Amino acid sequence: MNDGKDWFAWHSPYADDDSPLARRLRLVQQHIAAWFDERPGKPVSVVSMCAGQGHDVLNVLASRPDATRADVTLIESDPRNVAAARAKAVTENLETVTVMQADAGDLASYRQAVPADLVIMAGVLGNISDADAHATINALPQLCAADATVIWTRTRRAPDLTPRIRTWLADAGFAERVFHAPDGVLFSVGVHRFAGTPQPLATNGEIFTFIA
């Protein structure tokens, strides 16, 4: 399920507000917060794939008085990140957050969490093969409720896959809302809206293997 990379230490640059990772995080958080604001008062469900320590959605929820209307599932394989995300959820009284230690590349891991109104794929598409990125995008209609939003990130390091990712998302029934590709950094952040028909979750199936 995992390789030799230290995915706990990977989060360290978040402590530096000027780091590209922190800048990327702020963009993702901005879109999560805007997404909540566009749906005032409604119960919503959120799933984060390879959620890490959950800095994006947990920090947004921690600042919201209406956090409990969100049923949130974080799927993360590294036990240290799972523990950090759970500790944050407890500290912030985020009672509707579930942090699952599971393989986000296995569709079975999503059984209790979907269909979701918001799917967060931050730090996923750059750590899997191009074929798996395509397969993961093709599987999104199994994870998304009608009219769901997907927030995703991807490095634009050459060869830049983001043009193909955006085409694959369109082919899978997603309309692009935003695509940030700031100058001077390699990250990008996309926001897509599902305009297709939700599909039932396959009982089993590997959609990706982490390779980074």
Ligand X SMILES: C[S@@+](CC[C@H](N)C(=O)[O-])C[C@H]1O[C@@H](n2cnc3c(N)ncnc32)[C@H](O)[C@@H]1O
The residues binding ligand X (CB under 6 A) are 1-2, 7, 10, 50-52, 55, 75-78, 81, 103-105, 122-123, 127, 210
Q: How far is the CB of 76 from ligand X (least distance, A)?
A: 5
Q: How far is the C-alpha of 92 from the C-alpha of 102, rounded, in Å? A: 23
Q: How far is the CB of 11 from ligand X (least distance, A)?
A: 6
CB-based contact 151:28 (threshold 8 Å): yes
Q: How far is the CB of 88 from ligand X (least distance, A)?
A: 12
Q: How far is the CB of 77 from ligand X (least distance, A)?
A: 4
Which residue number, 34 or 170, has a Cβ lying nearer to ligand X? 34
Q: In this structure, is the dihedral angle defined by the CA atoms of residues 51, 12, 37 and 194, taken in order, positive or negative? A: negative
Which residue number, 62 or 170, has a Cβ lying nearer to ligand X? 62
Which residue number, 67 or 124, has a Cβ lying nearer to ligand X? 124
Which residue number, 80 or 170, has a Cβ lying nearer to ligand X? 80
User: For residue 33, which of 191, 161, 210, 201 has the smallest C-alpha distance?
Assistant: 191
Which residue number, 10 or 179, has a Cβ lying nearer to ligand X? 10
Distance (Å) of CA 180 to CA 41, 70, 130, 188, 195: 28, 26, 20, 5, 21
**What kind and span of H or E run contains 167?**
helix 162-171
User: For residue 29, which of 2, 63, 6 has the smallest C-alpha distance?
Assistant: 63
Q: How far is the CB of 1 from ligand X (least distance, A)?
A: 5
